[in-house]
Structure 1
Amino acid sequence: MKHLIIGTAGHVDHGKTALVKAMTGIDTDRLKEEKDRGISIELGFASLSLPSGRRAGIVDVPGHERFIKNMLAGAGGFDLVLLVIAADEGVMPQTREHLDIIQLLQVKKGIVVITKSDLVDEEWLELVKEEIGDFLKGTVLEDAPVAVVSSLTGKGIKELLKLIDEVAEATQARLCAGAPRLPVDRVFSITGFGTVVTGTMVSGMLRVGDAVEIQPQGLTSRVRSLQVHGEKVEVAKAGQRVAVNLAGLEVDQLERGSVVAGPKSVFPSQRIDVRLVLLKSAARPLKNRARVRLYLGTRETLGRVILLDREELEPGFWAYAQIELEEKTVAVRGDHFVIRSYSPMQTIGGGTVIDPLPGRKHKRYRKEVLDALAMCEKGAPEEVVEHYLLSCRGLKEADEIVSATSLRSDEVLKAVNELTSAGKLKTITGDGRIYLVSMDIYRQWADEIEKLLTGYHRDYPLREGYPKEELRSRRFQALSSKAFQLLLAEMERDGLLKLTSQAVALSSFTPGPNPEMEKKVKIIFDIFGKASFQPPSWEEICRETGMDETDGTELLQYLIRTGDIVKVGEALYFKSDILKKAREKVAAYLGEKGEITVGEMRDLLQTSRKYALPLLEFFDRERVTRRVGDKRFPGRALE
């Protein structure tokens, strides 16, 4: 059975709350101030049983102009709207503003309900119907059926319920596929249960025990329990009014406008790309960088509109824009929104989210930017996926693409297969996951790395390659260390480069000295050979060979990596074959004597204590020897 949310709309005191009570028996005005003033201030909620047995949720919104933001917090979840117009007053200012909001949010199914029919005669009623017909021309409710009722006498209520049932049957249900998403419109605490939030499930399903995230706060929680229409359930589905008991959170951590969603399914942003429409009724053009109030889901946020192809937007026209927000919000591609002027607060326009996570600020008056937005708005799934991967310039998993593009999982998987077959997508597997990147971006990265490595090898021919983390932090900061390692591994598999534990090099590169440096290496080896067990310091070698500090350090590190030179102690280096001889002598001595002292080591190698002690300490570390007091005995390496 499909699940639907029915919302009311209309001018203050036109009988919306009385109508809901006549249909459901529930008074949705719950606040003392609402009772005292006789008007709705906050959102009201009720459940409605229809003649077919279908149950729907009703959201009763305030009609007073001062509480439009509260109305907007509920209107985003409507599947079907009851536009309420009092027979004794007809179309009024908030009737017009509410219809503008319905139009902007694209609530396409609705019924016009003429209330208070007991206050007028038939002739007046016909005039009101005629006025309403003219008023609705050219709007989403132009062909909506009309019902005439009196909540006071009950006249027409049964007929209205039957009509709602018929329209509900023709109303498309929300998809339960995809990640769960519930924009929060109320937050409160219940003794013994803790924090509870309510809202309309706009997609997916929630189950008791599910892990969830609350954005844009970035909180994590678990679904402790669920209620739909006041009854406990194990599963809540898209299209239902849901109360969610969240574990481990306090009331003051959440607010109206928060979104309860599946883990890593939505991400907060302070920038969104949109198709923006300015209402014909707007009092003036909207200028570039105008400050506005954005209403998206249940959240109100201030922001500035950046018009991408003009200096101002005329009433009745549309444009592509980027809205820079003053606070983070959560959006999904295809979401509808409303904007109101900053001051005075009037509904002036709205539109559709094209890209909820644009990677950067757009430059204005750029054809490629406008073309990309047009494609992202209207393109086929494979075009949308390709554009997203081109624009984000990163490695993404399929579920991240689903979240960012609002495509269904099956659409994304099909698009990925088509793009991969066409050679437009690179698949990288690692850590038990599959990552995707645009082939164009992959090639750009490969070219950039090749150029960097070519220059690096020229400047540092003795080094094994560019340090991995330095390369990432300088040129690929947007990629995590893990993602960068996977990228490099894929490029190595493609034969584009080779890796060591710490460095990256071109596949054709072999570190080594040039001919001039080779001559110096030969001289250095001769010096070490003649010095035997009393090697000079590296600084002395640099002076003797005419090397400066930089070249000397580079060569020393190279010779250590190749194993030709071994660091024995602080500023003490031995040529590897000399060190091997020392080890053989010590091993033979221990084999004969069973132990050795520093003095005996000195005499054995015909050196001084300056070299004998560091050599023994080195052999201790290598487990050639084992120190006990002032003596050394055979270590594990000799056993």
Structure 2
Amino acid sequence: MKHLIIGTAGHVDHGKTALVRALTGIDTDRLKEEKERGISIELGFASLQLPGGRRAGIVDVPGHERFIKNMLAGAGGFDLVLLVIAADEGVMPQTREHLDILQLLQVQKGIVVLTKTDLVEDDWLELVEEEARDFLKGTVLEDAPVLKVSAVTGQGIRDLLEKIDQLAGQTVSRVSSGSPRLPVDRVFTITGFGTVVTGTLVAGVLRVGDSVEIQPQGLVSRVRSLQVHGEKVEVAEAGQRVAVNLAGLELEQVERGSVVAGVKTLTPANRVDIHLLLLDSAARPLKNRTRVRFYLGTSETLGRVVLLDREEMEPGTLAYAQVELEEQLVAAKGDRFVIRSYSPMETIGGGTVIDPLPRRKHKRFRSEVLSALATRERGTPAELVDQFLTAGSGLHIPGEIATGTGLKDEEIVEAASELVKEGRAKMISGDGKTYYVSSVIYQRWSAALAQLLETYHRDFPLREGYPREDLRSRKFQVLNSRVFQMLLLEMEKDGLLRVTPQAVALQGFAAGPSPQQEKLISRIKHELEEFAFLPPSWNGLSRSAGLDEVFAAELLQYMLRTGDLVKIAEELYFLKDVLASARQKVSQSLRDKGEITVAEVRDLLQTSRKFALPLLEYFDREKLTRRVGDKRLPGRALEN
């Protein structure tokens, strides 16, 4: 294993800190109270040079029952544990509770270290070793080697180092691909540098200069500098103990339990779906909605356990549940957690996070809910992606699917491609990204759009289609404008509809008037043609034609869109052919004389100043004319 985090565990005063000091030469008790009382209260940290050349980080945890929450803050990052049992006392209450925690967190590699061997006789030591082996049966450490040491005389320390080195080579490395995630276990400030956080980088890579997000606070910062084992580095990798100097953050803005992560890679939640084990040693059954202390990573949060298929759990049983949390936290699928009773504070269970971002509260005693959670927990990548897309409400990029399923990007692409081939998903590409949507949702959207457009075309036959942005804001609020446009273009490609710059219509629809409406349009056009350059207002025209206000507005927009009418100014419209005639007359006059005035246009068109002036201003905008003082000269359009 490239990087290794070693943790200690065991009862108070069994020699964990002395053992670390014997291995590393470092005293991890840094607080005055720890020195005075002779026990560890907070997490301690040291680095260890192994015989094979690699360097490991050591997290020394407190053993006193009052500081179990501090032990839990460190245990989540262990790759290998040293379960310490004092030879003069044997297995004690916190030995049992610490082993329960290791079992719940599934710390698979470990060494049982019998300390203080210099204080006991050999026959007693044999009895303690036998007790320890019996104690470990049926646990993750059942096959762990048992070594006898004395931190005082140094006996067995060299053998322990070699055994750690040996097991380190058998330990699976943490994943350095993907987004970084560092649960914070300590926060402090350094004069001249600012806020520093420490923790075990459980995934990804951190680089100096990276932008990061502190969750669940949602604060964005920058990695100013990094240290690993007290030495400055440019890059920190998963599996290393890391100190991160964060730019622009105050000490009180970050706390133990926060997570340093890639920007927008983790989302805080007030509930998580879990698979829960209630320990055999739990004193009583766990009733639905029991208030518990929920430990994940370095965080501690209060919450209530909602049992989904029963009213209470018996000790030693497993159940699907949803935890309703009193404070937000961030998690990832597959994270291990521990729960302790609210009072008295005892470790009673733990398990695995199935869904870190459930979309809703689950209804209890529903077979479909339990089936979905089982798939979520044990399904193939294709099943997980299918489940995520089917339960979704939009188009999703691989990164979003990764957050929701716990899969790697490459697994998602492969699984999604499989779903696309089987017709269970649609792939939509655009804007340099690839999106996926469930075929079920895509077909549902298509059917709903078809029905909506059919109704719209019947009610508004003169319109080119449903205004695109209005359609999105009313029916597809979950999609932003860019993604909605990509969806529409995909449906157009599939022959389901037609997209114009401003509207959406059914593929075979053509906006147009009925025969009766055609007669009205002909009548209005004839009237405008007769009025020529003295056109009446649209309101006057529509009233004389007997049109109601709503239809008059529809007809006006239709005639503007077809080009039969041209808007010259507010409430002033010219018939297309009449405007073309005015253009020709004004153009000819400019060619002949080189300039023209408003009065000359009035006389030329036999109109009034009321119409001549806005008409010339329209020609100015069209670059046919160019105003200079009180005159118009030929514009660029005419010059060309």
Partner of 2:9: 9
Partner of 2:410: 410
Q: Which runs of 5+ in 1 are unaligned?
A: none
Partner of 1:349: 349
Partner of 2:220: 220
More moved, 59-68 vs 385-394: 385-394
1:112 match: secondary structure: strand
- The residue correspondences of 1:170-249 to structure 2 (distance < 5 A) are 170-249=170-249
How far is 1:337 from its partner? 0.9
Q: Does 1:436 align with 2:422?
A: no
- The residue correspondences of 1:261-276 to structure 2 (distance < 5 A) are 261-276=261-276
Partner of 1:99: 99
Partner of 1:399: 399
Partner of 2:634: 634
Instruction: Return the letter of the residue paired with 1:574.
Output: F
Partner of 1:379: 379
How far is 1:396 from its partner? 2.3
1: CA distance, partners of 2:561 / 2:127: 95
How far is 1:105 from its partner? 0.7
Q: Does 1:18 align with 2:15?
A: no
Residues 296/559 of structure 1: CA separation in 2 closer, same or farther (3 Å cut): same
2: CA distance, partners of 1:476 / 1:287: 41
Deviation digits for residues 235-282 of structure 1 (CA, Å, limit 9, x no counterpart): 322222122233343333322222223344333333322212222222
2: CA distance, partners of 1:520 / 1:314: 80
How far is 1:82 from its partner? 1.4
1:358 match: secondary structure: coil
Q: Is the 8 Å Cα contact of residues 332 and 356 (structure 1) preserved in structure 2?
A: yes
Partner of 1:556: 556
1: CA distance, partners of 2:342 / 2:522: 78
Residues 360/516 of structure 1: CA separation in 2 closer, same or farther (3 Å cut): farther
Instruction: Return the letter of the residue paired with 1:216.
Output: P
2: CA distance, partners of 1:462 / 1:69: 70
Instruction: Return the letter of the residue paired with 2:533.
Output: F
Instruction: Return the letter of the residue paired with 2:258.
Output: S
2: CA distance, partners of 1:319 / 1:516: 70
How far is 1:8 from its partner? 0.8
- The residue correspondences of 1:269-348 to structure 2 (distance < 5 A) are 269-348=269-348
Give TM-score, length-normalised by structure 2: 0.94
Partner of 1:477: 477
Deviation digits for residues 140-180 of structure 1 (CA, Å, limit 9, x no counterpart): 22222222222233233223223323333332222333333
Instruction: Return the letter of the residue paired with 1:333.
Output: K
Q: Is the 8 Å Cα contact of residues 264 and 400 (structure 1) preserved in structure 2?
A: no
1: CA distance, partners of 2:183 / 2:515: 70
2:428 match: secondary structure: strand
How far is 1:18 from its partner? 1.3
Residues 410/594 of structure 1: CA separation in 2 closer, same or farther (3 Å cut): closer
Residues 596/410 of structure 1: CA separation in 2 closer, same or farther (3 Å cut): closer
Partner of 1:113: 113
More moved, 568-577 vs 187-196: 187-196
1:607 match: secondary structure: coil
Partner of 1:167: 167
More moved, 550-559 vs 472-481: 472-481
More moved, 286-295 vs 450-459: 286-295
How far is 1:372 from its partner? 1.6
Partner of 1:568: 568
2: CA distance, partners of 1:613 / 1:409: 64
- The residue correspondences of 1:453-532 to structure 2 (distance < 5 A) are 453-532=453-532
How far is 1:232 from its partner? 2.6
2: CA distance, partners of 1:518 / 1:207: 70
1:83 match: secondary structure: strand
Residues 287/194 of structure 1: CA separation in 2 closer, same or farther (3 Å cut): same
Instruction: Return the letter of the residue paired with 2:275.
Output: R
Deviation digits for residues 564-613 of structure 1 (CA, Å, limit 9, x no counterpart): 11111121222211222222222223333333333333222222332222
2: CA distance, partners of 1:64 / 1:476: 56
Residues 546/288 of structure 1: CA separation in 2 closer, same or farther (3 Å cut): farther
Residues 334/527 of structure 1: CA separation in 2 closer, same or farther (3 Å cut): same
2: CA distance, partners of 1:476 / 1:295: 38
Residues 384/618 of structure 1: CA separation in 2 closer, same or farther (3 Å cut): same
Residues 553/306 of structure 1: CA separation in 2 closer, same or farther (3 Å cut): farther
More moved, 81-90 vs 31-40: 81-90
1: CA distance, partners of 2:48 / 2:202: 19
How far is 1:123 from its partner? 4.0
Deviation digits for residues 530-586 of structure 1 (CA, Å, limit 9, x no counterpart): 222222222222222222221111111111111111111121222211222222222
- The residue correspondences of 1:581-596 to structure 2 (distance < 5 A) are 581-596=581-596
Partner of 2:362: 362
Instruction: Return the letter of the residue paired with 1:553.
Output: A
Partner of 1:58: 58
2: CA distance, partners of 1:478 / 1:459: 26
Partner of 1:445: 445
Partner of 2:75: 75
2: CA distance, partners of 1:519 / 1:310: 72
Q: Which runs of 5+ in 2 are unaligned?
A: none
State the percentage of identical aligned residues.
70
Q: Is the 8 Å Cα contact of residues 203 and 238 (structure 1) preserved in structure 2?
A: yes
Total equivalences in the alignment: 639
Residues 11/488 of structure 1: CA separation in 2 closer, same or farther (3 Å cut): same
1: CA distance, partners of 2:446 / 2:596: 57
Instruction: Return the letter of the residue paired with 2:310.
Output: R
2: CA distance, partners of 1:168 / 1:120: 30
Q: Is the 8 Å Cα contact of residues 45 and 59 (structure 1) preserved in structure 2?
A: yes
How far is 1:624 from its partner? 2.2
More moved, 388-397 vs 506-515: 388-397
2: CA distance, partners of 1:135 / 1:231: 40
Deviation digits for residues 391-419 of structure 1 (CA, Å, limit 9, x no counterpart): 23332222333343232333223223322
Q: Is the 8 Å Cα contact of residues 307 and 364 (structure 1) preserved in structure 2?
A: yes
2: CA distance, partners of 1:583 / 1:342: 86
Instruction: Return the letter of the residue paired with 1:609.
Output: R
Q: Is the 8 Å Cα contact of residues 266 and 404 (structure 1) preserved in structure 2?
A: no
Partner of 1:603: 603
Residues 31/432 of structure 1: CA separation in 2 closer, same or farther (3 Å cut): same
More moved, 136-145 vs 33-42: 136-145
2: CA distance, partners of 1:327 / 1:515: 66
2: CA distance, partners of 1:613 / 1:7: 87
2: CA distance, partners of 1:330 / 1:200: 16
2: CA distance, partners of 1:26 / 1:90: 26
1: CA distance, partners of 2:533 / 2:311: 81
Instruction: Return the letter of the residue paired with 2:38.
Output: G
Residues 454/307 of structure 1: CA separation in 2 closer, same or farther (3 Å cut): farther
2: CA distance, partners of 1:114 / 1:371: 46
Residues 20/448 of structure 1: CA separation in 2 closer, same or farther (3 Å cut): same
2:596 match: secondary structure: coil
More moved, 196-205 vs 243-252: 243-252
Instruction: Return the letter of the residue paired with 1:476.
Output: F
Question: What is the RMSD of the two structures over their aligned residues, measured on CA atoms?
Answer: 2.2
Instruction: Return the letter of the residue paired with 2:194.
Output: G
Q: Does 1:577 align with 2:577?
A: yes
2:66 match: secondary structure: helix
Partner of 1:125: 125
1:633 match: secondary structure: strand
1: CA distance, partners of 2:342 / 2:576: 77
Instruction: Return the letter of the residue paired with 2:477.
Output: Q
2: CA distance, partners of 1:358 / 1:465: 38
Partner of 1:146: 146
